[in-house]
Amino acid sequence: MPETEARRAVMARCALATREELRAALDRLGPMGRAEDLRPAETGLVMARGRIGGDGRAFNLGEMTVTRAAVRLSGGETGFAYHLGRDREKARLAAILDAAWQRPEQREAVEAALAPAAGRQAAEDEAARRRIAATRVNFFTMVRGED
């Protein structure tokens, strides 16, 4: 997996993780050194755009609350994070994990530290798939009632 895709996958895990899971992941990694705030976590609005049917003309769906953070670790690695909602601590923790992942010697450790969050996310996805599958209707096997 190319580096960009691997980093994107780690950040997707961070985006879906809870604040407590991110804090626990950082605790598992041990001391990181000081994380300097390049951009203190701040909350704002972004415009969400949509398309009807996935291929129609784009339209403004509405505004969403987003929190972003940027940090630099003592080794010079810079991490960024954007999260839906107003949780500034979660955005900062995710930015620290992003910066830590950029250290080649820590990549596997960061991914392993996020494994419990990934497991919970996979279990929730599977439960949702099961709930949806239970409501699925196969119209090809239905009888119309007219003989």
Q: What is the pLDDT of residue 137?
A: 79
pLDDT tier for residue 94 given thresholds of 50, 70 and 90: very high
**In a 10 Å sphere around its CB, with 0-12 CB exposed, 13-18 middle and 19+ buried, how is residue 16 labelled?**
middle
Measure the CA–CA gap between 98 and 121, rounded to whole angstroms. 19
pTM of the model: 0.82
| 2 pLDDT more than 90 | no
Mean pLDDT, rounded, for 72-98: 94
Mean pLDDT, rounded, for 14-20: 93
Residue in 72, 65, 111, 110 with CA at minimum distance from that of residue 88: 65
Q: What is the pLDDT of residue 91?
A: 96
Mean pLDDT, rounded, for 69-83: 94
Q: What is the pLDDT of residue 12?
A: 92
Mean pLDDT, rounded, for 123-130: 94
Best-predicted range by mean pLDDT (51-55, 62-66, 73-77): 62-66
